[in-house]
């Protein structure tokens, strides 16, 4: 009996030791994995915040050579920051025109065998031109979509900036810190913030960097913030108080936009309801009455003489 107890205690001790060793090894592996992930993400952030970064260098070259309404600036506003984005857009547009033209010519010839070949080519070319215009319309759609997303992110950027400034960081350091946070979650918006930090490091005034940021993301709120920073610097007012006041106004504007959309919903729903629901309700109400009237007429008999 005593030997069995000793064996049981040894067995339990071995299990406890093995479990402890496995727990320590697993924890060390997890810590190592987290350190590697943090190091790699930090290295990616540092690459973004380097002036040798391809996206940043491409933006600075575009800013020097092109106007704000150029195709390259539209691509940047849409979130396509790579150097090959303009070339890829032109190739995609040419491919779309050629494919649409060939497909439409084939469809027209199959549907109308007696049509003149020159007329079929002309009609197909018209559809190809429409596809050429639609490519620009798609780019404008992406610009508006990115603008809406940036407008939603801008109040969060303001709140995070105020938290960093309240913690004791300067405005420049706060923008740098917030940009590093946005890089991991919203890379496009974080890249635009990183460009602000790089411009400030290069010696450009903060309000000018914010003005360039407003032109990139096409936000009137960012342009207003740039004006407020300039006025605060010229008048010697508190930048923190300015940020806090403007952030409060941004939250109020967000609530007003939400209320505006909520108030516009009944009017927007009126047309679909009138088109889809009213005819159905009308049929549901009228059809039984029509069926009853028809049965009544069928049951009528001429009077006997």
Domain range list for the chain: 1-38+47-149, 151-254
pLDDT along the chain (305 residues), means of 10: 61 74 79 66 51 64 67 80 82 88 86 80 86 88 87 84 83 85 84 84 82 82 81 73 78 81 82 80 84 78 60
State the Cα angle at 132 between 138 and 111, rounded to 5°: 110
- Burial (CB < 10 A; 0-12, 13-18, 19+), residue 156, is middle
Distance, in Å, from the CA atom of 280 to the CA atom of 284, rounded to the nearest integer, reads 6
Question: Residues near 112 by Cβ (< 8 Å), separated by ≥ 6?
Answer: 120
| Six-digit token string for 216 | 């990139």
pLDDT tens per residue across span 250-278? 778 778 888 888 888 888 888 887 788 77
pLDDT for res 162: 84
Question: What count of other Cβ atoms lies within 10 Å of the Cβ of residue 278?
Answer: 10
pLDDT value for 300: 66
For residue 173, the model assigns a pLDDT of: 85
Checking phi first, is residue 112 left (phi over 0); if not, alpha (psi -120 to 50) or beta? beta
pLDDT at 6: 64
Question: In this structure, are residues 225 and 246 in contact, taking their beta carbons and an 8 Å threshold?
Answer: yes
């Amino acid at each position: 009996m005593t030997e069995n107890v000793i064996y049981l205690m040894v067995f339990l001790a071995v299990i406890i030791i093995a479990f402890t060793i496995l727990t320590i090894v697993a924890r060390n592996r997890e810590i190592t994995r987290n350190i590697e992930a943090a190091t790699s993400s930090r290295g990616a952030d540092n690459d973004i915040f380097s002036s040798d970064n391809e996206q940043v260098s491409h933006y600075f070259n575009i800013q020097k050579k092109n106007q704000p309404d150029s195709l390259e600036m539209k691509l940047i506003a849409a979130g396509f920051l790579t150097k090959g984005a303009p070339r890829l857009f032109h190739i995609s547009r040419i491919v779309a025109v050629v494919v649409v033209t060939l497909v439409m010519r084939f469809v027209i010839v199959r549907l109308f065998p007696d049509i003149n070949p020159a007329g079929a080519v002309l009609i197909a070319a018209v559809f190809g031109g429409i596809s050429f215009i639609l490519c620009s319309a798609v780019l404008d759609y992406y610009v508006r979509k990115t603008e809406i997303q940036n407008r939603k992110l801008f109040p969060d950027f303001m709140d995070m900036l105020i938290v960093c400034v309240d913690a004791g960081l300067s405005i420049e350091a706060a923008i740098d810190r917030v940009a590093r946070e946005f890089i991991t979650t919203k890379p496009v918006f974080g890249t635009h913030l990183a460009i602000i930090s790089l411009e400030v490091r290069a010696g450009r005034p903060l309000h000018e960097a914010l003005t360039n940021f407003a032109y990139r993301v096409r936000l009137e709120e960012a342009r207003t913030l740039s004006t407020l920073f300039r006025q605060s610097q010229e008048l010697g007012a508190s930048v923190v108080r300015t940020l806090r006041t403007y952030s409060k106004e941004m939250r109020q504007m967000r609530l007003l936009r939400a209320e505006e959309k909520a108030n516009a919903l009944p009017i927007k729903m009126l047309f679909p309801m009138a088109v889809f629901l009213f005819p159905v309700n009308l049929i549901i109400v009228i059809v039984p009455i029509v069926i009853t009237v028809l049965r009544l007429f069928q049951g009528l008999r001429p009077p006997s003489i």
